[in-house]
Amino acid sequence: MQNDSRLRLRQILMEAVFRRQRLWWTVFVGILVLTVLVIVFLPKRYEATAKLVVANLRTRSTLSAGPVNRIVTTEDVSQTQINSEVDLLKSQAVVRAALGLPNIPVGDPRQLKAEQETVKRIQDHLSIDPVRDSSIIDVRLIDKTPEMSVFHLTSILESYLNQRKVLTQSANAADFFDRQAQLFSGDLANARDALTKFEEGHELVDMDEQKKLQIERVAAIEDQIAAAKSNVANQTSRTRNLLQRLASTPARTETVRRSLTNQYSQERLNTNLVELVNRRDELLHRYPPTDRAVLALDQNIATARSALDEAALHPASDSSTDVNPIWQQVTTSLVTSSAEVSGSSAAQKELERQHGVAEGRLHDLQQSTQAYDVLKRRYQEAQTGYNLYVQKRDEARVGEALDKDQLFDVTLVQRPITSIIPVRPKPLAYAVAGLLMALILASVLALYADSSDLLVYTPQQLDAVTGVRTSGTLAEEINGSEAPENAIEFRRLLTSLRSSLVQGTDGARGKRIAVTSARPGDGGSYVSEHLAHEASAQVKLRVALLDMTRLLEATRSNHAVTVGLQRDETTLCWELAFPGSAVADSSLLILGQFGKQTFWTDLEPALQNADKHFDMIFLDCPSLRDSTLAIYLDGIVDGYVAVVAAAAARKRQIRQMVSFLQQTETPVLGYLLNRRTYPIPHWLYRVL
Given a cut of 80, whether residue 534 has pLDDT beyond it is: yes
The pLDDT value recorded for residue 168 is 60
Q: Do 264 and 314 sit in the same domain of this protein?
A: yes
Q: How far apart are CA 147 and CA 144, in angstroms?
A: 9
Q: What is the pLDDT of residues 282-338, one digit of tens each?
A: 878 887 888 887 788 888 888 888 887 777 776 656 666 666 677 777 777 777 777
Given a cut of 60, whether residue 533 has pLDDT beyond it is: yes
Q: What is the pTM of this model?
A: 0.47
Tell which residue, 54, 114, 121, 123, has the closest CA to residue 89: 123
Q: Do 604 and 669 sit in the same domain of this protein?
A: yes
Cβ-in-10-Å burial (0-12, 13-18, 19+) of 272 comes to middle
CATH number at residue 123: 3.30.1890
Given a cut of 70, whether residue 181 has pLDDT beyond it is: yes
The pLDDT value recorded for residue 125 is 84
pLDDT band at 360 (very low <50, low <70, confident <90, very high): low
The pLDDT value recorded for residue 685 is 63
Given a cut of 90, whether residue 686 has pLDDT beyond it is: no
Cβ-in-10-Å burial (0-12, 13-18, 19+) of 137 comes to buried
pLDDT band at 479 (very low <50, low <70, confident <90, very high): very low
User: How would DSSP label each residue in 280-339?
Assistant: HHHHHHHS-TTSHHHHHHHHHHHHHHHHHHHHHHS-EEEEEEEE-HHHHHHHHHHHHHHH
Q: Of the residues 274, 293, 320, which one is the last residue of a structural domain?
A: 320
Q: What separation in angstroms does the CA of 251 have from each of 239, 245, 278, 322, 340? A: 18, 12, 57, 9, 24
Least confident of 62-76, 394-408, 511-525, 547-561: 62-76
Q: Do 132 and 273 sit in the same domain of this protein?
A: no
Could you tell me if residue 435 is inside a domain? no
The pLDDT value recorded for residue 29 is 93
Q: Do 514 and 656 sit in the same domain of this protein?
A: yes
Across the chain, mean pLDDT equals 79
Q: Do 545 and 496 sit in the same domain of this protein?
A: yes
Could you tell me if residue 437 is inside a domain? no
CATH number at residue 481: 3.40.50.300
Q: Do 350 and 476 sit in the same domain of this protein?
A: no
242 within 8 A of 327, measured Cβ to Cβ: no
- Average pLDDT value for residue range 603-622: 91
Q: Do 521 and 659 sit in the same domain of this protein?
A: yes
The pLDDT value recorded for residue 2 is 47
Could you tell me if residue 429 is inside a domain? no
Coil vs helix vs strand at 257: strand
Could you tell me if residue 43 is inside a domain? yes
26 within 8 A of 125, measured Cβ to Cβ: no
Supply the DSSP symbol for 424: B
Number of domains in the chain: 4
Could you tell me if residue 447 is inside a domain? no
Strands 126-130 and 639-645: unpaired
In the chain, pLDDT over 70 holds for what percent of residues? 79
Q: Do 101 and 186 sit in the same domain of this protein?
A: no
Give the max Cα distance, the chain: 207
Least confident of 231-245, 428-442, 559-573: 231-245
Q: Of the residues 295, 320, 345, which one is the last residue of a structural domain?
A: 320
HSE-up (13 A, CA, CB side) for residue 316: 7
What are the b/e assignments for 50-80, b being 16+ CB within 10 Å? bbbbbebeeeeeeeeeeeeeeeeeeeebeee
Domain interval for residue 207: 172-240+331-405
Q: Do 540 and 641 sit in the same domain of this protein?
A: yes
The pLDDT value recorded for residue 92 is 80
Q: Helix/strand/coil (H, E, C) string of 587-622?
A: CCEEEEEECCCCHHHHHHHHHHHHHCCCCEEEEECC
Q: What is the pLDDT of residues 34-61, one digit of tens each?
A: 999 988 888 888 888 888 888 776 655 5
pLDDT band at 640 (very low <50, low <70, confident <90, very high): very high
Could you tell me if residue 576 is inside a domain? yes
Higher pLDDT pick, 244 / 511: 511
pLDDT band at 172 (very low <50, low <70, confident <90, very high): low
Least confident of 85-94, 141-150, 164-173, 285-294: 164-173
HSE-up (13 A, CA, CB side) for residue 346: 6
Coil vs helix vs strand at 128: strand
- Average pLDDT value for residue range 1-16: 64
CATH number at residue 378: 1.10.287
pLDDT band at 637 (very low <50, low <70, confident <90, very high): very high
CA 256 to chain centre: 108
The pLDDT value recorded for residue 641 is 95
pLDDT band at 206 (very low <50, low <70, confident <90, very high): low
- Average pLDDT value for residue range 592-597: 84
Q: Do 642 and 660 sit in the same domain of this protein?
A: yes
Q: Do 306 and 346 sit in the same domain of this protein?
A: no
Tell which residue, 107, 105, 75, 83, has the closest CA to residue 92: 105
Q: Do 133 and 188 sit in the same domain of this protein?
A: no
Q: How far apart are CA 533 and CA 529, in angstroms?
A: 6
Higher pLDDT pick, 174 / 408: 174
Could you tell me if residue 200 is inside a domain? yes
Coil vs helix vs strand at 143: strand
Supply the DSSP symbol for 357: H
Q: How far apart are CA 178 and CA 306, in angstroms?
A: 131
Q: What is the pLDDT of residues 544-586, one digit of tens each?
A: 999 998 888 888 775 788 888 988 888 888 998 887 654 555 6
User: How would DSSP label each residue in 610-671?
Assistant: HHTT-SEEEEEPPPTTT--HHHHTTTTSSEEEEEEETTTSBHHHHHHHHHHHHTSSSPEEEE
Q: How far apart are CA 573 and CA 596, in angstroms?
A: 27
Could you tell me if residue 444 is inside a domain? no
